[in-house]
Structure 1
Amino acid sequence: MQPTPPIRKATVAMYTGAALTLVAVLALVVDQSGGGLARHLHDTYPGRAPGWLSMTTASIATYLYALYGAGFVLWLWMARKAGKGTRRVRITATAAFVVGSVLLVYNFTQPHPLMVTATGALPCLSGLAAVALLWAGRSTRKSVTA
């Protein structure tokens, strides 16, 4: 089945989301190389033991790397399925967008550096575009031929 123009545009949005996820990873790497997360935690929670600071920094970094890694793989998988015209990708992309948005709101409530959280928000914008395109009236074969 050949994908419709909105589905092709959604596929591009998904590949863009994967690229923006890599930008978020790069921002995290740059932040960590400069000690930004550790410094931010030290400023947010003064007087904590150095062991606590190291453990918390490692835990947050691990969480963010795992989140970005899973997101990147999911973006590529969804883009491939959408490019093939698979209908179920609408539900998957919508669910991924909702979960990603909830995690984004959660991340803004946590003591992460603003640059890291803000760049982590960029893939959600692609997700919004992809979901809107996937659910557009002209994205189905029936509505194109009708």
Structure 2
Amino acid sequence: MLKKFFNKKEELSWIVPLTGTLKPITEMPDPVFSQKMIGDGFCIEPTIGKVYSPIKGEIVSIFPTKHAIGIREDNGYEILIHFGIDTVNLNGEGFNLYVNIGDKIDAGDLLLDIDTDSIKNKVPSLTTAVIITNLNGKNIRLSKLGEVKQGETIILNIY
């Protein structure tokens, strides 16, 4: 069934997870993300340190340092939200987590609250990657770039 699912062109409707500037993933200031080594998606340069779920699904992973969360969307896609660059080195400092592995979540549920003022000078960037990790070679085209507010709807065309 999954093979059939991944062979078609799709359009996904997501909630913007952070307020800030939405950019293509190729502009993420980390080559692991910008070169799509993990998958395709987008990044947001945040102006507010609150991260919400873009989708309905289940929390499948949380890094011990709280800087990254994995979500399995109800349709089978696996999403990684990775807040900032080198934030793993903060060992959770400045991050407040609102979910646990196994939690069922809705689009728009609060996942993380980050004290950006306390961490912004300790890391190279707060730019946050939102990646679909199991696209099987497919790519994403976004319906919108530029300034966004958390809660707005964006369309991801997968081809």
TM surpasses 0.5: no
Please state which structure has a larger fraction of its residues in strand. Answer: 2
Interval containing the TM-score (normalised by the shorter chain): under 0.3
The structure with the largest alpha-carbon Rg is 1
TM-score by length of 2: 0.24
Please state which structure has a larger fraction of its residues in helix. Answer: 1
